[in-house]
Amino acid sequence: MLEKRIVVCLDVRDGKTTKGVKFKGNVDVGDPVEMARRYYEEGADELVFYDITASAERRGIMREVVERVAAEIFVPFCVGGGIASVEDMRAMLLAGAEKVSVNTQAVLNPEIIDQGAKAFGNQCVVLGVDALRDEAMPSGYRVVIHGGRTVTQRDLLDWVREAEQRGVGEVVLNSIDADGTRDGYELTCTRLVSENVSVPVVASGGAGVSRHLIEVLRDGRADAALIASMVHFGGYTIPQIKADLAAAGIPVRRRIGPDTG
C-alpha cells in the first residue's frame, strides 16, 4: 500500500481561518499564516487553502495571503476559491502554490480544466467537488457549487469522470452531509469516486477522531485524508494522528517537523 497523505485544510474568509458545519455557522479560528506554519512544523504532508466566499461573491482570491502562507511552508500547497481563468491559475502558482483547485468555475466552464492542464500540467490542476446526498441522481449524489449555496443538475460520478478526462490530476471530494460534523467521512461516496477514477482522491468532510481517517483510507480507498476541525480546535495533533494510523497498519509519511526531511 502506498503512503497515505494527511492534508490540512484552511478555509479563509475575510483574511481569517474559519470553520463551520455543513457550510453553515462559520466561526473564526485563527490567522491562516500562523496556522499554516504550525501545521507544517507538526508534519502535515500538504495544505489546502480555500477562499470560501470568493466564488459566491464573484471576486478573485486573496493573493497577498497566499504569498504569505507560501513563504512559511515547504510542503505542497493547493489554493482554491474564485479561480476562474488560466490567468488566475498562473497568478496563484506564481504566488507560491504548487496546485490550484477549481470547483464552482469548473462546473460553470469545464474548459478551464483543459486549459489549465495544457498550460501547467495535470499535476497542477485539482478538482474540488462538493457532493450532496440525493437519491434522485444516478450515483446517489448531486454536485453543489458556490460553497454549498447552489445545487446543480450534475451527477457526482458523471462529473468526476468528465473532469478526469479533461485533465485534472487529483480530486478533493467533500461531503456536505458530513462537513464539520466530526462524525466520520462519507465512506460510500468516497469509495464510489475512488473506484471510478484513476487519479488520486482526497477525502474531505467529517473527520473527528483518528479512526475516521483509518476508515476512509482503508475502506473508502482514499489516497489522502483532509482534516480541519480535529486539529483546529485542539483535540488532535498531526503527529498523534500519524502515530494512530501507523499503529493501525496505514502507511504514512514520517516527516515530523521542518528539519527532518
Q: In the chain, which residues have pLDDT < 70? A: 1, 14-16, 18-29, 52-62, 234, 255-261
**Residue 258 within any structural domain of the chain:** no
**Residue 253 within any structural domain of the chain:** no
pLDDT of residue 121: 98
Q: State how far the Cα of 258 lies from the Cα of 49, in Å rounded to an integer.
A: 19
**Residue 259 within any structural domain of the chain:** no
Q: State how far the Cα of 126 lies from the Cα of 114, in Å rounded to an integer.
A: 12
Q: How many domains does the chain have?
A: 1
Helix residue ranges per DSSP H, the chain: 32-42, 63-70, 86-95, 104-108, 111-120, 156-166, 187-194, 210-218, 229-232, 238-247
pLDDT of residue 252: 95
**Residue 141 within any structural domain of the chain:** yes
| pLDDT tens sequence across 8-41 | 998 887 666 765 554 444 555 678 889 999 999 9
pLDDT of residue 234: 67
pLDDT of residue 255: 59
**Residue 255 within any structural domain of the chain:** no
The beta-carbon contacts of 228-232 under 8 Å, at least 24 apart in sequence, are 228/8, 228/9, 228/10, 228/11, 228/19, 228/180, 229/19, 229/180, 229/182, 230/182, 231/8, 231/39, 232/17, 232/19, 232/29, 232/30, 232/35
pLDDT of residue 125: 98
Closest CA to 47 of 231, 234, 221, 236: 231
Q: State how far the Cα of 242 lies from the Cα of 140, in Å rounded to an integer.
A: 32
Domain that holds residue 159: 5-247
pLDDT of residue 59: 44
Q: State how far the Cα of 9 lies from the Cα of 225, in Å rounded to an integer.
A: 10
**Residue 192 within any structural domain of the chain:** yes
Written as nine digits, the cell of 196 is: 471510478
Q: What's the CATH number where 192 sits?
A: 3.20.20.70
pLDDT of residue 55: 47
- Contact, 103 vs 145, CB < 8 A? yes
pTM of the model: 0.88
**Residue 212 within any structural domain of the chain:** yes
pLDDT of residue 138: 97
The angle at the Cα of 76, spanning 28 to 202, to the nearest 5 degrees, equals 75
**Residue 101 within any structural domain of the chain:** yes
Q: Which of 11, 51, 155, 179 is catalytic?
A: 11
Q: Which of 45, 51, 130, 179 is catalytic?
A: 130
- Contact, 117 vs 126, CB < 8 A? no
Is 11 a residue of the active site?
yes
Q: State how far the Cα of 198 lies from the Cα of 70, in Å rounded to an integer.
A: 29
